[in-house]
Amino acid sequence: MRFLPRFTALSALLLASVPVFAGGPRQHISFTTTFQPVPGGLLLRTIPPVQAGIVHFASAVQIDGANVDLELIARLEYTNGSGPFSGFITHRWQNGDVLVTRYVGGAVLNADNSSTVTGTLTVLGGEGKYLNASGYGTVLGHRDGVFGSPVIYDVNLNVLFASNGRDQKRGDDNGRWKDDSGDANFRGRKVISLDTWLTALPAEQVLNDAGPGGRLRYGIVRLTGPSNYKGSPVSVEVAVAVEYINGDGPYSGFMNFDFADGTILCRYTGAAERDKAGNTVVSGKLEPFLGTGAYANVRGTGRVVGTRSGVVGSPLENRIELRLQ
């Protein structure tokens, strides 16, 4: 990734720049903890030197004398052990208070095979006293073992409390696809069109709700489904992190295709929107960036349009198009 060499320099800047809020009640949260991988919580694809997918970790700490359970879920994309990630860290108090933070950062593999993790936290709200909270924070972590080993985290977080509700503002790409079928840059490319139903088992979903009526839904989902290309079976797998408000919002992760003659791994970003009938329409972009076999040097672009009538994780009908160089 282009920005990997900047992680070390950015880490020092981020850790020194937690905002100071002017006015209003606030809380400073600081703790050190060891996150342990949750059994079955690593949903990864490895095509050397790249490792991409979804991870799920958990821990427990004391904050101001109260016991708090922690959950970390994230999508990552590492090359030779280093790379970016994004996801969520959730804090759950025994009295029902919940603090939800968006977590963005990166890991760097050191010369001694340990890893350094840095990241920033953005408060999304939560339950109880954190219902309308906002704020920012930083994370500095270290892992001595191989990927998937426990990670020691130092967390510093400033929380600002508000007396009224607020909407989450997003700068994410909404995943709308611009029709480029007439673009000369795409003429002559190999086009692969697929139809598939993608489904998720309950054990392959880590979804959380926060806010009134579960207004905020966030977490990770893995979906799989069969398809067919030129008479041969194709296996489709999706692993994404989602952040929805009242059913609408962005997602990002990966889509993998196992063809008879090779594999294509794509970055997958987009958004879900509820229509007037209550169905969910999913639209996203694909960026093929890694492959095996006949697709070893794959590059190109793609799009996905899907619909479902149920909740997140319900069967999703998809039309997929890949345009390969």
Model confidence pLDDT, tens digit, residues 128-161: 999 989 888 889 999 998 888 899 999 989 898 8
71 neighbors 83 (Cβ within 8 angstroms): no
CA distances from 104 to 22, 109, 321 (A): 25, 17, 29
Looking at residue 158, its pLDDT comes to 87
Looking at residue 321, its pLDDT comes to 95
Contacts of 197 by beta carbon, 8 Å cutoff, 6+ apart? 225, 315, 316, 317, 318
Residue (of 72, 91, 92) closest to 148 by Cα position: 72
**What whole-number distance in Å separates Cα of residue 267 and Cα of residue 290?**
9
Alpha carbons within 13 angstroms on the beta-carbon side of residue 112 total: 6
Q: pLDDT band for position 184 (50/70/90)?
A: very low
**What whole-number distance in Å separates Cα of residue 106 and Cα of residue 45?**
18
Looking at residue 149, its pLDDT comes to 87
Number of H helices, E strands in the chain: 1, 18
Looking at residue 275, its pLDDT comes to 85
**What whole-number distance in Å separates Cα of residue 47 and Cα of residue 292?**
8
Looking at residue 6, its pLDDT comes to 29
Give the single-character DSSP code of 206.
E
Residue (of 191, 126, 109, 118) closest to 162 by Cα position: 126
Q: What digits encode the pLDDT tens for the residues 221-244?
A: 888 999 989 889 999 999 999 999
Q: Which of 169-173, 184-188, 260-264 has the weakest average pLDDT?
A: 169-173
pLDDT at 165 over 70: no
44 neighbors 51 (Cβ within 8 angstroms): yes
Looking at residue 189, its pLDDT comes to 60
271 neighbors 306 (Cβ within 8 angstroms): no
Tokens 């479902």 sit on residue: 308
Residue type (1 letter), 6:
R
Residue 237 main-chain phi, psi, to 5 deg:
-135, 135
Q: pLDDT band for position 80 (50/70/90)?
A: very high
Which helix (H) or strand (E) segment holds residue 274: the answer is strand 262-274
115 neighbors 94 (Cβ within 8 angstroms): no
Calculate the average pLDDT of the chain: 83
Q: What digits encode the pLDDT tens for the residues 185-201?
A: 444 468 999 999 888 87
The percentage of residues in the chain with a pLDDT greater than 70, rounded to a whole number, is: 83
Query: In 41-53, which positions are buried (b, 16+ CB within 10 angstroms) versus exposed (e)?
Result: bebebeeeeebbb
Q: pLDDT band for position 313 (50/70/90)?
A: low
**pTM score, two decimals?**
0.71
Tokens of 308: 């479902």
Tokens 């970003």 sit on residue: 269
Residue (of 294, 299, 269, 273) closest to 284 by Cα position: 269
**What whole-number distance in Å separates Cα of residue 117 and Cα of residue 299?**
29
Greater model confidence, 25 or 166:
25
pLDDT at 263 over 90: yes
**What whole-number distance in Å separates Cα of residue 68 and Cα of residue 128?**
14
State mean pLDDT over 247-272. Answer: 95
